[in-house]
Amino acid sequence: MSRQNWILIAILVLMGLIPVTGSRYYVFLLTDILIFGLFALSLNLLLGYTGLVSFGHAAYFGIGCYACGLLIKKAGLSFGIAFAATGFFGAAAALIIGFFCVRLTRIYFALLTLAFSQIVWAIVFKWNSLTGGDTGIYDINFPKFLDSRTKYFYFTLAVVSISVLILRKIVNSPFGRILMTIRDNPERTEFIGINVKLFQLLAFIISGFFSAISGGLFAVFNHSIFPDFCYWPVSAEVLIMTILGGMYSFFGPLVGAAVLLYLRMEVTSYTVYWPFILGTILILLLFFFPGGIVGFIENQIKRWRSSK
């Protein structure tokens, strides 16, 4: 096995040991990080691997939240079935929305994804009888077999690990390689015989699937869901996580989610002006660390190696 895989297993084991420390704080934070890390990783399949800037990924996260929440609360399904279905709702939405979006490029693609996500938000916001509108849905409880924060943490860890494994397989597959050629040069990719729009759509669907999974995890973790989860600033936040960690490395978005959520947790205990801090971090990032945290570290390692 490669060295990287050993490191990953070590990290996984360490994370699995966190609840042993008895810290409710870290269990909570880590669950949050895993969920949003998965969300950011799935966004990055589009952003860093396919070169498509989606400004409407809140839609698939929100659809995941509401699919899971509504299937449990309104349809009365068990958690297991509801959660298993969640990803497919996200994928279906991504199929329909993506079908239209991949016809456009660059800024127009971003605007169209934004418009669609706002439609999703408006539907959730206005469809009172189903979604509870502005008040949202409450009391989405842990299922019986996961009736504590710790158990739910292990469940999240398992789901996210498997998802990450699959995503990593995908980006290292021929399909993933073709996505990268599309990112670098869609025109040329067409001329090596690839139906570019089809590949973009497939990436969109996979991304929507895993975004919805993360949304489903979050709905139960948070016990309640609101239309705000589909609102456009959520799309912006997950973009920030992704580039904070680094969009050109596979684990970058996960690192970005970890750093951002940890900072938010710490900062909000001192001041209400977290958005100001986040905005400042983002500006510094754009000016001084355009490759994100992981990109910066990789560069330093490269420099250190070549100086030896």
Partner 1 sequence: MILQVDNLAKSFDGFIAVAGVSFQIEKGELCSIIGPNGAGKTTVFNIITGHLSMDKGRVVFNGMDISRLPAHKICRLGLGRSFQRINIFSRLTVFENIQAAVLTHRGKSLSFFTSVQPLFQEETEEILVSVGLQDHRDAVSGPLAYGFQKQLELGIALASNPKMLLLDEPTAGMSRQETKGTIELIGKIVREKGLTLLFTEHDMSVVFSISERIMVLHQGQLIASGPPDEVRTNQDVQKIYIGESRCS
Partner 2 sequence: MSFDLSFVVLQLLNGLTNAMFIFLIASGLSIIFGVLGVLNFAHGSLYMLGAYATYQCVSLFVDSPGQFWWAVIAASVAVALLGGIIERLLLRRLYHQEELNQLLLTYALVLVLGDLARFIWGVDQLSVSRPAVLRGAVEILGQYFPKYNVFILFLGPCVAFLFWFFMLRTRWGRMVRAAALDRETLGALGVNVDRLFTVVFMIGSWFGALGGALVAPVITIRPGMDVEIIINAFIVVVIGGLGSFWGTFLGALIVGPVYALGILVFPRLSMIFIYVIMVVVLMTRPWGLLGRPLQR
Q: Identify what 174 binds: partner 2, partner 1, none; CB under 5 to 8 Å per kind.
A: partner 1
Supply 228's token pair.
Answer: 């705000």
192 binds partner 1 (CB under 8 A): yes
Taking CB under 8 A as the rule, which mask of x and - marks residues 232-271 in contact with partner 1?
----------------x-----------------------
Q: 102: helix, coil or strand?
A: coil
Q: Identify what 273 binds: partner 1, partner 2, none; CB under 5 to 8 Å per kind.
A: partner 2
Query: b/e map of 109-142 (b: 16 or more CB within 10 Å)?
Result: bbebbbebbbebbeebbeeeeebbeeebbeebeb
Beta-carbon contacts of residue 166 (< 8 Å; ≥ 6 apart) = none
Of the two residues 32 and 237, which places its CB atom closer to partner 2 in the complex? 237
What span, in angstroms and rounded, lies between the C-alpha atoms of 236 and 98? 19
What span, in angstroms and rounded, lies between the C-alpha atoms of 84 and 80? 6
Of 283, 299, 301, 302, the one binding partner 2 (CB under 8 A) is 283
Q: Which stretch binds partner 1 (CB under 8 A): 113-121, 139-147, 179-187, 297-305?
A: 179-187
- Tell which positions 73-132 bind partner 2, by CB under 8 A: 100, 103-104, 106-108, 110-112, 114-116, 118-119, 122-123, 125-127
Residues 208 and 117 sit within 8 Å (Cβ to Cβ): no
Q: Identify what 192 binds: partner 2, partner 1, none; CB under 5 to 8 Å per kind.
A: partner 1
Q: Identify what 115 binds: partner 1, partner 2, none; CB under 5 to 8 Å per kind.
A: partner 2
Phi, psi of 290 (to 5 degrees): -65, -20
Of 3, 187, 304, 306, the one binding partner 1 (CB under 8 A) is 187
CA distances from 102 to 31, 37, 46, 86, 97 (A): 33, 25, 11, 23, 9
What span, in angstroms and rounded, lies between the C-alpha atoms of 221 and 106? 35
Supply 106's token pair.
Answer: 């660059």
- For the bound state, the minimum distance from the C-beta of residue 100 to partner 2, rounded and expressed in Å, comes to 6
| Matching residue, tokens 């100001």 | 276
Q: Which residues form the interface with partner 2 (CB under 8 A)?
A: 47, 53, 55, 100, 103-104, 106-108, 110-112, 114-116, 118-119, 122-123, 125-127, 232-233, 236, 239-240, 243, 272-273, 275-276, 278-280, 282-283, 286-287, 290
Residues near partner 1 (CB under 8 A) are 169-170, 172-178, 180-181, 183-185, 187-196, 199, 248
